Each structure stands twice: as structure tokens, then as C-alpha cells.
Amino acid sequence: MDKYQQYFTADKFAMSNGIELTECHPGFAKAQVKIEKHHLNGAGVVHGGLLFTLADFCFAAAVNSYGFVTLSINANMSYFAKSTKGVLTAEAKEIARSNKICTCDINVYDEENQLLANFKGTAYITHKEIDFLCH
């Protein structure tokens, strides 16, 4: 797990939003963020952009965890509920993988395990090794 955490801390955008990788292995990842005041939108609820960033970061961890640079080519998100405080958790599960393309399903939950959003992502596998993760 340490090698994944070290590699993914290079994602400065996710890190600047307080997102932390908590679990990762090939085809699976979990990430969390503690809601802060700057994460809220004008209506006082968590900004959809934070939910998307959390899910997208989790997606990236899951698909890059095989040790090959894997880049998103499509993503979409549906929002189901709002949140205003606490810790949010995203969980990415790979649902399909070929030698070129992979697809993940990512759910975002609040502390009460209420489903806030679902993210579906597809990525292209470049087969360029991420040296840090392959050795």
C-alpha cells in the first residue's frame, strides 16, 4: 500500500483538496476526504466538483495500480444525495478490462453509508510501465 500512496501523492489537485488514498490493489481502490468549509457550494452543500474529483482520483488509483500508465477517456457521474459534513469515501471496482481498455464503477458514500453519487469511468491502458509500481 505504501508504494501506491507515495505514487498517488503526486496528484497535487487531489492532495490540495484533502483527498487521501486509503486502500489500493489492482482493480480496486478506496479514497476519503474530510469535508471542510471550502468544499461547500453556495447552497451550503458539498460541491459536485469535490465528489467528482474524489471519484476520479479513486478511479485513477484503481486502474493505474497494475503498474501501467492508464488514462481516462470517458467519465460520467450521477448525483443522488447531498452532504454537508463528515468524511466521504469513494470505492472503485474494476468491472471490465481488456488489453487496451478498462472500465470502473465508483460509488461515493457519506459516513452513514448513504450513496451520494455514482461515477462510471473508462480508461485507455498505455502499457507504459510506471516504474515505481512495477518494481
In this prediction, residues 37-59 reach a mean pLDDT of 97
In this prediction, residues 3-8 reach a mean pLDDT of 72
* H/E segment holding residue 6: helix 2-8
CATH 3.30.360.10 matches 2-134: no
**Maximum CA extent, the chain:** 47
Q: Contact, 84 vs 44, CB < 8 A?
A: yes
Rg (alpha carbons) of the chain, rounded to whole number: 14
Closest Cα to residue 48, out of 76, 94, 79, 7?
A: 79
How do residues 102-130 score in pLDDT, each as one tens digit?
999 999 999 999 999 999 999 999 989 98
Domain ranges of the chain: 2-134
How do residues 51-98 score in pLDDT, each as one tens digit?
999 999 999 999 999 999 999 999 999 999 999 999 999 999 999 999
Banded model confidence at residue 1, pLDDT cuts 50, 70, 90: low
The pLDDT of residue 127 is: 87
The pLDDT of residue 135 is: 44
